[in-house]
Amino acid sequence: MKIKNEMADWGLRSASYWMTLFIAVGIIIVGVRFILFPRVGAAGFGIPLSNNADLAFGRIKGIRDIFSGLALLPLLFFRMKKATAFVFTAAIIVPVTDCFLVYLNNGPDPSQLVPGITAVFMAITSFLLFMNTQKTIA
């Protein structure tokens, strides 16, 4: 079965594995920060909350971020490189959109650097994930 071969070829010795794990754990930490300290998280994001009614929006972003990280962990644990590559690549839309939204809200601002750099890092990681991915034929 190709899954077993793929598992043997990708894992702890792969840069793309660790890069993906870094993003997954990092976004979980960001999500926890948004849930526990929504004002701090939102200010760091670049769009501060304006009143107490906005706290729920910070927590909504936190849940989204935690889910994004957790969705990758089983794929990494089972060393499913191809599935990880597709899910991770689709997830690039999140930091790209975040960067764009911060720009629309603030204009050019240093707070755009984090989602912008994250998007570039994820694009590089996606490229590495798709490199040498074995083609499976049913």
pLDDT digits (tens, 9 = 90+) for 121-134: 999 999 999 997 65
Q: Which residue has the higher pLDDT, 5 or 22?
A: 22
Domain assignment of residue 31, yes or no:
yes
Q: What are the φ and ψ backbone dihedral angles of 129, each rounded to 5 degrees?
A: -65, -40
User: Cα–Cα distance between 129 and 138 in angstroms, integer?
Assistant: 21
pLDDT digits (tens, 9 = 90+) for 45-73: 988 999 999 999 999 999 999 999 999 99
Average pLDDT over residues 85-89: 97
Domain assignment of residue 87, yes or no:
yes
**Two structure tokens written together for 75:** 């794929």
Domain assignment of residue 137, yes or no:
no
Per the structure, how many domains does the chain have? 1
pLDDT digits (tens, 9 = 90+) for 18-54: 999 999 999 999 999 999 999 999 998 988 999 999 9
Q: E strands of the chain, at which residues?
A: none
Domain assignment of residue 135, yes or no:
no
User: Cα–Cα distance between 118 and 24 in angstroms, integer?
Assistant: 11
Host domain of residue 94? 2-130
